């Protein structure tokens, strides 16, 4: 009897040790992944997390001027002017999520805003063969895209004021995170006015939405200058689930700076 008890306790001890070792291994893997992501950021020669003072102190609605400056001066990276978030290493889950959505909901066309340099989205479009339209506020970037990808349509416009056509899917990856609440709400109005079928956009699991003047990552006061903040679209002032039907939600990655989780939310636009 005593031997049986000893064996029982030894087996429990062995199980506990296995659990502890598994936790240690998982923690090390997460730390390694974070170090790799930070290394990728640092390798982007010219990448700057602190924006020039002339952009910070900008007044008025001058998004186009601000983002054109960021693009021309390559403030977010020389090789990838849209920033490290557009690198292949950071968009794997975005691509898998889109491929799944396109097949599941029989999506035939997509409106990508802001489209940036179309650096990773082409893999999704090449795989599915659906019709693609992109829009960006930086005219020079749009002109480059038109020359490089003549088979697609690229529009120059401001996503907060430009009227959209009706699309099967409006997709916005980390676009509104560079805008104020007022500008974000204006974009969402444009989406509903377009009578498009679906909306897919970047979302964070933060417990509240910050005001217009606060940047959760860089501490920069002017979001319209290209700064960044995390947004929860299920909370006020957006509360999208009360205006649209939430159909799917996909985990993308953790924000390196804040550790908050980034997702893609997929809504049916109800007009």
So where are the chain's domains?
Answer: 44-268
Report the pLDDT value the prediction gives residue 19, as an integer from 0 to 100.
Answer: 65
Report the pLDDT value the prediction gives residue 195, as an integer from 0 to 100.
Answer: 95
> pTM for the full model?
0.77
Q: Which CATH number fits domain 44-268: 3.40.50.150, 3.40.50.720, 3.65.10.10, 2.40.340.10?
A: 3.40.50.150
Q: What string of H, E and C letters represents the secondary structure of the chain?
A: CHHHHHHHHHHHHHHHHHHHHHHHHHHHHHHHHHHHHHHHHHHCCCCCCCCCHHHHCCCCCCHHHHHHHHHHCCCCCCCCCCCHHHCHHHHHHHHHHHHHHHHHCCCCEEEECCCCCCCCHHHHHHHHCCEEEEEECCHHHHHHHHHHCCCCEEEECCCCCCCCCCCCEEEECCCHHHCCHHHHHHHHHHHHHHCCCEEEEEEECCCCCCCCCCCCCCCCCCHHHCCCCCCCCCCCCCCHHHCCEEEEEEEEEECCCCCCEEEEEEEECCC
Report the pLDDT value the prediction gives residue 64, as an integer from 0 to 100.
Answer: 86
Q: What is the pLDDT along the chain (271 residues), one digit of tens a residue?
A: 666 556 555 565 666 666 666 656 555 555 555 444 444 444 443 333 333 434 433 333 577 888 888 888 877 777 676 766 666 777 899 999 999 999 999 999 999 999 999 989 999 999 999 999 999 999 999 999 999 999 999 999 999 999 999 999 999 999 998 888 888 999 999 999 999 999 999 999 999 998 655 555 555 445 555 678 899 999 999 999 999 999 999 999 998 778 899 999 999 998 6
Report the pLDDT value the prediction gives residue 37, as an integer from 0 to 100.
Answer: 47
Report the pLDDT value the prediction gives residue 73, as an integer from 0 to 100.
Answer: 83
Report the pLDDT value the prediction gives residue 3, as an integer from 0 to 100.
Answer: 66
């Amino acid at each position: 009897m005593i031997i049986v008890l000893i064996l029982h306790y030894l087996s429990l001890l062995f199980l506990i040790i296995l659990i502890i070792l598994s936790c240690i291994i998982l923690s090390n893997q997460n730390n390694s992944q974070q170090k790799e992501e930070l290394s990728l950021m640092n390798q982007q020669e010219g990448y700057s997390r602190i924006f020039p003072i002339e952009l910070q102190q900008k007044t008025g609605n001058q998004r186009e001027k601000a983002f054109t400056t960021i693009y021309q001066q390559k403030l977010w990276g020389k090789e990838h002017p849209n920033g490290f978030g557009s690198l292949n290493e950071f968009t794997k889950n975005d691509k898998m999520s889109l491929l799944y959505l396109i097949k599941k909901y029989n999506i035939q066309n997509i409106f990508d805003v802001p489209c940036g340099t179309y650096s990773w989205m082409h893999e999704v479009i090449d795989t599915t063969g659906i019709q693609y339209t992109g829009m960006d506020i930086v005219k020079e970037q749009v002109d480059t895209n038109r020359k490089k990808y003549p088979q697609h349509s690229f529009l120059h416009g401001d996503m907060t004021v430009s009227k959209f056509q009706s699309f099967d899917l409006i997709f916005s990856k980390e676009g509104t995170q560079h805008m104020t609440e007022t500008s974000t709400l204006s974009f969402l109005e444009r989406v509903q006015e377009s009578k498009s079928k679906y909306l897919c956009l970047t979302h964070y699991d933060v417990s509240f939405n910050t005001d217009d003047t606060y940047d959760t990552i860089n501490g920069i006061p002017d979001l319209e200058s290209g700064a960044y903040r995390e947004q929860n679209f299920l909370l006020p002032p957006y509360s999208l689930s009360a205006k649209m039907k939430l159909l799917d939600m996909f985990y993308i990655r953790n924000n390196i700076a804040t550790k908050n989780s980034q997702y893609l939310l997929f809504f049916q636009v109800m007009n």
